[in-house]
């Protein structure tokens, strides 16, 4: 039985290795362009269908010295946007309230990226203050981005709700 499935197994392993190699090359090239790193984070999250798995790949790459903290932050931004895309796709066929939640989620992450993009260095320094190991810093970047993005929207919750309903209305 094992011999029967071996060719399929070998093909899948080759495919995964090929995808992984392309992701690694893309992230290395992205160190020169934050938008490539963000796009790479989005694509990685879509490929793995999990921002946790994408962050795991990011941590491994960072620990191997393939990325610096700033590039890792850009990828985390992309991971956060990528985690919303499946909910937007599912939300397209859902009731109005579900569509609004999906749009609110992706909008929060896109706005968060726009806010944090110019101060990424400060975010990475804050993460380095909380953790000395690179994997811990990536986790803190992810956590700080999500918590601070949410807190920044809170004083403007009424305007934010109006923006969401502007994009998804009856």
Give the model confidence (pLDDT) of 43-75 as tens digits. 888 888 777 888 888 888 888 888 889 999 999
- pTM for this structure? 0.81
What size, in residues, is the chain?
170
Supply the range of the domain harboring residue 131. Answer: 2-167
Mean pLDDT, residues 5-31 taken together: 58
- One-letter-per-residue 3-state SS of 73-137: HHHHHHHHHHHHHHHHHHHCCCCHHHHHHHHHHHHHHHHHHHHHHHHHHHHHHHHHHHCCCHHHH
pLDDT number for residue 66: 80
Higher pLDDT among residues 93 and 144, named by residue? 144
Query: Does the pLDDT of residue 2 top 50, yes or no?
Result: yes
Please report, for residues 54, 67, 78, 80, 104, the alpha-carbon distance to residue 50 in angstroms, rounded to integers and kept in the order given: 6, 20, 12, 10, 19
Q: Which residue has the higher pLDDT, 38 or 30?
A: 38
Split into its structural domains, the chain has a count of 1
Q: What are phi and psi of 107, to 5 degrees?
A: -65, -40
The more confident residue out of 49 and 113 is 113
> What is the b/e burial string over 72-86, where b = at least 16 CB atoms within 10 angstroms of the residue's CB?
bbbbbbbbbbbbbee
| pLDDT score recorded for residue 170 | 78
Q: What is the mean pLDDT of the chain?
A: 83
Q: How confident is the model at residue 31 (pLDDT cuts 50, 70, 90)?
A: low
20 pLDDT more than 80: no
């Amino acid at each position: 039985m094992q011999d029967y499935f071996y060719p399929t197994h070998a093909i899948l392993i080759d495919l995964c290795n090929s995808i992984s190699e392309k992701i690694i090359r893309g992230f290395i090239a992205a160190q020169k362009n934050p938008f490539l790193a963000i796009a790479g984070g989005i694509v990685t999250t879509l490929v793995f269908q999990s921002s946790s798995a994408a962050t795991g790949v990011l941590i491994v790459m960072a620990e191997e010295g393939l990325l610096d903290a700033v590039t890792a932050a850009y990828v985390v931004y992309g991971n956060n946007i990528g985690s919303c895309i499946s909910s937007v796709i599912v939300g397209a066929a859902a009731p109005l309230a579900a569509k609004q939640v999906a749009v609110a989620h992706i909008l929060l992450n896109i706005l968060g990226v726009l806010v944090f993009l110019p101060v990424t260095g400060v975010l990475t320094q804050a993460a380095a203050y909380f953790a000395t190991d690179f994997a811990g810093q990536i986790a803190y970047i992810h956590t700080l981005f999500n918590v601070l993005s949410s807190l920044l929207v809170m004083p403007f919750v009424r305007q934010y709700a109006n923006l969401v309903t502007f994009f998804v209305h009856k």
